[in-house]
């Protein structure tokens, strides 16, 4: 993680930011006014209709074709349609997290989740997840289990929207939610030293990490989850919250053994590769639930 100064907003940005914030507030208010199932379905339909007009659709199509070349065009289009539906639903559901958590029929967990919670309570833990299913539920599910999560987020360019999103998320990060920076990295290491619980996203491109295989191509990947777990000697778990149907989910967790040899960097590279391999297996199982549109490779 690097600490960089944020550029001063341009004149056009200063004019646009309040309008964007007003739009965000209006969407948030409308979404909250609807029952969660209706809000999720409507948002999913809207994203399926309008998101393909965005330039990210072409990038998603290109990366999907390169990653799953065995699929024909019809199958790939169905995956992209499902991807936008999932992203739209996830956006709406982020305003209804308490309602989702309060209904035991909406979230089920596997035995790996129960084991991970028990380990986190005793030893602390690093949980690394990916943009699959509804990843916004990962920290809230842990909070519901009585675990105080510390997380890192990527600051949103618009400071008004950034503040609103932080207000929305922070209640589920009782250990603290930190903007990505060198100081945030140091704070994560301090929390891990106290045997706290860390939640991180690991499927974004990171040129400061290691390039490891991902769908058969080198993908710059963060070694930070592996570094924290190895350096602070706490368990490392890989997690997903997959969508079963509509607003129903399943939390799945697998433990990754810590590798500790005389070659620290090789250990981090191997563990990072194993994280990405697990991500790839999960994405292949439900490719329409992963966010294909972000720049993952070089």
Mean confidence (pLDDT) of the chain: 94
pLDDT of residue 11: 61
Helix, strand or coil, per DSSP, at residue 210: strand
Backbone angles phi, psi at 245, to 5 degrees: -170, 140
CA-CA distance, 206 to 203, in Å (whole number)?
9
pLDDT of residue 25: 95
pLDDT of residue 2: 35
Q: Give the number of other CB atoms < 10 A from CB of residue 168.
A: 14
pLDDT beyond 80 at 10: no
pLDDT of residue 210: 97
pTM: 0.93
pLDDT digits (tens, 9 = 90+) for 144-173: 999 999 999 989 999 999 999 999 999 999
Question: If we measure between CA atoms, which residue out of 149, 142, 296 comes closest to residue 215?
Answer: 296
pLDDT digits (tens, 9 = 90+) for 21-43: 999 999 999 999 999 999 999 99
Give the confidence band of 57 by pLDDT, cuts at 50, 70, 90: very high
- Mean pLDDT calculated for residue range 185-194: 96
Question: If we measure between CA atoms, which residue out of 182, 174, 229, 175 comes closest to residue 202?
Answer: 229
Q: Provide the b/e sequence for 78-99 (b: ≥16 CB within 10 Å).
A: ebbebbbbbbbbbbbbbbbbeb
pLDDT beyond 50 at 4: no
- Mean pLDDT calculated for residue range 84-94: 98
Give the confidence band of 7 by pLDDT, cuts at 50, 70, 90: low
pLDDT of residue 14: 75
Helix, strand or coil, per DSSP, at residue 256: strand
pLDDT digits (tens, 9 = 90+) for 213-264: 999 999 999 999 999 999 999 999 999 999 999 999 999 999 999 999 999 9
Q: Are 137 and 241 in contact (CB under 8 A)?
A: yes
Strands 205-214 and 197-201, bridge-based pairing: unpaired
pLDDT digits (tens, 9 = 90+) for 265-284: 999 999 999 999 999 999 99
CA distances from 135 to 86, 96, 215, 225 (A): 11, 14, 21, 17
Tokens of 279: 């991500």
């Amino acid at each position: 993680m690097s600490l960089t100064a944020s550029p001063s907003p341009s004149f056009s940005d200063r004019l646009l930011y309040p309008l964007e914030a007003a739009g965000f507030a209006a969407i948030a208010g409308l979404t909250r006014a609807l029952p969660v199932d209706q809000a999720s379905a409507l948002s999913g339909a809207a994203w399926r209709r309008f998101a393909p007009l965005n330039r990210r659709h072409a990038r998603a199509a290109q990366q999907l074709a390169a990653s799953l070349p065995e699929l024909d065009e019809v199958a790939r289009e169905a995956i992209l349609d499902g991807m936008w539906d999932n992203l739209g639903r996830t956006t709406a559901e982020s305003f209804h997290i308490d309602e989702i958590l309060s209904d035991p029929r909406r979230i089920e967990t596997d035995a790996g989740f129960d084991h991970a919670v028990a380990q986190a309570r005793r030893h602390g833990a690093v949980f690394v997840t990916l943009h699959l299913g509804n990843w916004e539920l990962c920290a809230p599910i842990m909070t519901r289990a009585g675990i105080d999560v510390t997380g890192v987020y990527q600051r949103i360019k618009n400071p008004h929207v950034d503040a609103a999103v932080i207000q929305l998320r922070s209640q589920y990060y009782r250990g603290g939610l930190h903007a990505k920076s060198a100081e945030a990295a140091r704070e994560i290491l301090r929390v891990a030293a106290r045997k706290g619980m860390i939640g991180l996203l690991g499927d974004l491109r990171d040129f400061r990490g290691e390039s490891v295989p991902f769908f058969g191509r080198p993908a710059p990947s963060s070694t930070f989850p592996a570094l924290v777990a190895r350096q602070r000697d706490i368990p490392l778990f890989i997690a997903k919250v997959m969508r079963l149907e509509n607003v129903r989910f399943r939390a799945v967790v697998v433990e990754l053994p810590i590798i500790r040899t005389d070659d620290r960097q090789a250990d981090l590279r191997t563990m990072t590769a194993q994280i990405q391999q697990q991500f790839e297996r999960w994405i292949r199982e439900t490719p329409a639930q992963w966010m294909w549109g972000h720049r993952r490779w070089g």
